[in-house]
Amino acid sequence: MKTIFKSSLIIIIFLNIWQILLAGPPFLTDDPDPVEFKHWEYYISSQNTFDHSTKIATGTLPHFEVNYGLVPNVQIHIILPLNYNYTASHFEAYGYADTEFGIKYRFVKETDNFPEIGTFPILEIPTVNNTMLSAGRTQLFIPIWLQKSWGKLTSYGGGGYWINPGTNNRNWFFAGWQAQYEISKTVSLGSEIYYHTAESKDSSSSTGFNLGGFYNFSEKFHFLFSIGQGITNGNYTTAYAGFLWTI
């Protein structure tokens, strides 16, 4: 029984990595482009991961994200998540999880011949005492992101290093690249591929992909979505759906 519980907990912790990786909705890879000065972004979304081998699902249901253009080229960011873990046909846990806070800073603007470049340090702050919902220790992500556009085609990516303290944990690296195309003023579609190293002594590195995009109801209201699959070291599916209000 202890072995089964330990294995399930390891899988849940592994799957919860996708909640930590939630960076550039609806994808895991982010961009260096901050919210415009004195403008806001409000998201209400759900990010989910399902392991086909163990039938364990984890995710946010929902999470709330707010971004604000504090000064030119700088945005502040916060995510308030309600996480769940679902195993063996019942919920193991549901409730508020770790709070995410970040600051995105673009230090190079895009030109005709050069991409824009920025960084987006993120803190995952433990706010509950529950190993099913919280890492229990403050985690820090330090990335570099690049982006370049050619007409209706935009591509961005990069990577960063996660400082991941805690028993049995490892610091780990994430890298990803995305491309999307504006089919019309209403619809944009894109895809990404990503890789991350092992985040604990009991896990492995993994590669995966996502397909997704945006549907613009208007200039202010948007629907975001993606779905993807692990390619190496994991038979899992990821999915994201959310609404964005920009002002």
- pTM value is 0.90
Closest among 240, 241, 186 to 218, alpha carbons compared: 186
pLDDT for res 3: 43
pLDDT of residue 91: 76
Average pLDDT in the chain: 90
Q: Tens digit of pLDDT for each residue in 85-95?
A: 888 777 788 99
- Structural domains counted in the chain: 1
> Which residues constitute the domain of residue 81?
2-246
CATH of the domain at 26: 2.40.160.40
Structure tokens at 138: 């403050």
pLDDT band at 15, cuts 50/70/90?
A: low
pLDDT, tens digit, 9 for 90 and up, residues 55-65: 889 999 999 99
Round to whole Å and give the CA distance between 25 and 144: 17
